[in-house]
Structures are given as structure tokens and as C-alpha cells.
């Protein structure tokens, strides 16, 4: 479902706030992004610096496109939970621990004088992929973010499912093993094993073991410097580094074990993976599919597709833009919107 529902002069603004980077995007017609910028979020610096860059970024994009603020239909903000979308407050997500009760909607809404809406990034991603991506036509679909953290957005019976307290989809908090990497403030959680941050934690142990056994790996220097990231792991794995490939394989295994739980409980026809899973592709998804097939009920896993997000690297931008248009124009959302 594309098209310009805004009128000739109107545009949407999307703000995608992540634990590693923040992006600001403009769109005249979904799912196309007409212009964008991004910058490091720097969580330890607190929210003020990032919010100032968001405001400056919006102003620069509008100026560069010769668009006046009165022509902005709405601003959509996508961010990891927990958050209060009704009050427009970000409530100290695990990967933005310094962002404590930040009234982001009030700040941006008052500054620009336009409608502003906040949504959990996994919910926003689920809507984006359901409307414009790999989940089109699916009645029951799960979308998983796989960035610094991990969360799930659920489309059930064709509608976005939020839960009774807007807390549905916090799959990263589920305990997968008794011990393990820390994610969502819990050792051994799904997020600890199957997020970018968790994979980096596990990778440090792999590199240490390899070094002790006299095995060479491209990751050693990054590990020693304390600068190791999932991008380093992905690049080394693509280059044939045996240790990096083992890390990706093991992460895929754990991811598949976690996804088998979702398959057994929710019986989706499609699971769509964003973030790191798109960049790693089958090197991550192949072992995940094998573990899912091994762990889930045969009848439930039959016909369930595990695929990367079709929107690719633009998923975060389109998701944030869907928050803007979805909450201001209910016909694009998968549930009735309570204004």
C-alpha cells in the first residue's frame, strides 16, 4: 500500500532512535524516503545532545528540500521500549539507560508545532514490513528487530497486537539459558544471545579461547582495543575468518531456539528479521532455520517462513514514517487508532 495520502505539499518526518545510531528521514510518498541523515546516538552522553541533533537534522532536511514547517503533516518517532506512547515518553530502554522519562513528543511537538507520535520500534517495524515489505498478505506475522537490542512486533489476525498494557513483544527479556550474555538486563536472555550487543559479548569469549589455543582471527585486535562490534564480526565472517563464522553460526543457533518458542506459541506464517539479520543473511538465518525445525512442533513450523526484512536498510526510516502516518491516518494502520 503506497501512494501519497498527504496532498501535494505535505511531507512526513520520521525519527528512528537506536542504541547505536539515530536517523531522521523525510517522505512525500511511503515507502519512499526522499532524504535522510543519521548520527551516533551516544547513549552515555544523555538525551539532550541527541535531541538537539534531531531538531537540527529535521530543520536541515526541510531547508535542503525547500519545505516549510507548515507542510509537515506529522512527526513519527520510533524507539526501543519501554516507553509510554500515550504520554509520548521514553522510559529508560536497556540500550538508552540515560534516557529516563524523556518527554520526546512534547519536546519535538512544541518546537515544531506539528502532530508528533511515539511508538515502540518493533511495533513500527512490524507495521512497515506488513504494509510494504516481506509480511504483505500475511495474517499472522512476527517482526524482530536485531540491533543493539532485540524486540518483537506482532501482527496477529491482521492487527498490531500491543497487549493489555502495551508490553507485548518484549521477547528479548525471555530467559533462554540459565547463564549467558546479558541482554535486557538479564543474563542468558534471548536478547543476550540473539542481539548485536549480545553477539559481541559472546564473541569476546570466542576470541579469548581462540587466542589461548593459538588460533588466529581478524577480531583479536578489535577485542584487545575494546572496539569490537557486530559489523567487525560480519565483515570477518564474510572474509572467511573461521572464528567469526563460528560466532555467527552459534548466534544463529540460539536465535532459532528462541524463534521456536514463538512458533509454538503464536503459530505465525511469517517471521521477518530486521537489522543485523539482514546484513548477515543466510549465514545467520540458515542455522536459525535448522534450530527452529529441530525445536518447534512440526505442524507449527510447516509453512512458517523466516526471512530478512524486504525494506532492507531503509526499514528503520520507513518504520518511523509509518508511526507518523499511521497515527494521523488510521486507514494505514492495522488497528483502530485511539486518538
pLDDT digits (tens, 9 = 90+) for 9-47: 789 999 999 988 999 999 998 999 999 999 999 988 899
* Residue owning grid cell 519535538: 108
User: Which strand (E) or helix (H) includes residue 292?
Assistant: helix 282-295
**The model scores a pTM over 0.95:** no
Residue 34 CA, distance from chain mean position: 21
d(CA 230, CA 16): 20
Distance CA 106, CA 49 (A): 16
Residue 233 has pLDDT above 90, yes or no: yes
Phi (first) and psi of residue 235, to 5 degrees:
-65, -40
Nearest Cα to Cα of residue 58 among 103, 11, 101: 11
pLDDT tens-digit map of 109-129: 999 999 999 999 999 999 999
In the predicted structure, residue 325 carries a pLDDT above the cut 90: no
pLDDT tens-digit series, residues 44-103:
889 999 999 999 999 999 999 999 999 999 999 999 888 999 999 999 888 898 999 999
- Who contacts 15 (Cβ-Cβ below 8 Å, separation ≥6)? 22, 23, 24, 25, 54, 58, 75, 76, 77, 78, 108, 320
311 by Cβ neighbours in 10 Å (0-12 / 13-18 / 19+) ranks as buried
The per-residue pLDDT for 20 is: 86
Minimal CA–CA distance to 120: which of 143, 138, 97? Answer: 143
pLDDT of residue 155: 95
Domains of the chain, CATH where assigned: 11-125+314-332 (3.30.420.40), 138-309 (3.30.420.40)
Of the chain, the percentage scoring pLDDT greater than 70 comes to 94
For 256-298, how does the pLDDT look when each residue is reduced to its tens digit (9 = 90+)? 999 999 999 999 999 999 989 998 999 999 999 999 999 999 9
The pLDDT-based confidence of 7 (bands split at 50, 70, 90) is low
pLDDT for the residue numbered 165: 85
- Here the cell at position 125 is 517495524
Distance, in Å, from the CA atom of 52 to the CA atom of 329, rounded to the nearest integer, reads 28
Q: What is the pLDDT of residue 6?
A: 55
**Amino acid 327: pLDDT:** 43
* 192 vs 328: CA distance, rounded Å: 36
Query: What pLDDT shows up at residue 81?
Result: 84
**C-alpha cell read off for 54:** 534531531
Using the 8-state DSSP alphabet, how is residue 216 labeled?
-
Q: Please give the order of strands across the beta sheet that includes 21-27.
A: 35-40, 21-27, 11-17, 72-79, 116-120
E-only strand ranges, the chain:
11-17, 21-27, 35-40, 72-79, 83-84, 89-90, 116-120, 141-146, 150-156, 159-161, 182-183, 186-187, 270-273, 305-308
Amino acid at each position: 500500500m503506497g501512494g501519497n495520502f498527504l496532498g501535494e505539499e505535505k511531507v512526513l518526518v520520521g525519527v528512528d532512535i537506536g542504541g547505536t545510531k539515530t536517523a531522521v528521514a523525510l517522505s512525500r510518498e511511503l515507502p519512499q524516503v526522499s532524504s535522510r541523515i543519521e548520527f551516533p546516538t551516544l547513549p552515555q552522553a544523555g538525551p539532550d545532545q541527541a535531541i538537539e541533533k534531531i531538531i537540527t537534522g529535521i530543520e536541515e532536511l526541510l531547508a535542503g528540500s525547500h519545505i516549510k514547517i507548515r507542510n509537515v503533516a506529522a512527526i513519527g518517532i520510533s524507539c526501543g521500549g519501554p516507553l509510554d506512547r500515550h504520554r509520548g515518553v521514553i522510559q529508560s530502554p536497556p540500550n538508552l539507560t540515560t534516557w529516563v522519562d524523556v518527554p520526546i513528543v512534547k519536546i519535538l511537538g512544541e518546537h515544531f508545532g506539528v502532530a508528533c507520535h511515539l511508538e515502540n520500534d518493533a511495533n513500527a517495524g512490524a507495521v512497515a514490513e506488513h504494509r510494504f515489505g516481506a509480511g504483505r498478505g500475511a495474517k499472522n506475522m512476527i517482526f524482530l528487530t536485531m540491533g543493539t537490542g532485540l524486540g518483537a512486533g506482532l501482527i496477529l489476525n491482521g492487527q498490531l497486537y500491543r497487549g493489555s498494557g502495551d508490553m507485548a513483544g518484549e521477547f528479548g527479556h525471555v530467559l533462554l539459558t540459565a547463564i549467558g550474555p546479558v541482554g535486557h538486563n538479564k543474563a542468558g536472555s534471548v536478547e543476550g544471545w540473539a542481539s548485536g550487543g549480545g553477539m559481541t559479548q559472546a564473541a569476546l569469549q570466542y576470541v579469548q579461547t581462540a587466542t589461548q589455543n593459538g588460533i588466529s582471527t581478524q577480531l583479536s585486535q578489535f577485542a584487545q582495543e575494546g572496539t569490537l562490534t557486530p559489523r567487525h564480526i560480519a565483515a570477518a565472517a564474510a572474509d572467511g575468518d573461521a572464528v567469526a563464522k563460528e560466532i555467527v553460526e552459534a548466534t544463529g543457533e540460539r536465535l532459532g531456539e528462541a524463534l521456536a518458542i514463538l512458533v509454538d506459541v503464536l503459530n505465525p506464517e511469517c517471521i521477518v528479521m530486521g537489522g543485523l539479520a539482514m546484513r548477515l543473511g543466510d549465514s545467520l538465518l540458515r542455522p536459525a532455520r535448522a534450530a527452529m525445525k529441530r525445536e518447534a512442533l512440526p505442524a507449527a513450523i510447516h509453512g512458517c517462513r523466516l526471512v530478512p526484512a524486504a525494506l532492507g536498510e531503509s526499514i528503520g526510516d520507513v518504520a518511523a514514517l509509518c508511526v507518523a502516518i499511521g497515527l494521523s491516518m488510521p486507514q494505514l494502520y492495522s488497528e483502530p487508532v485511539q486518538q
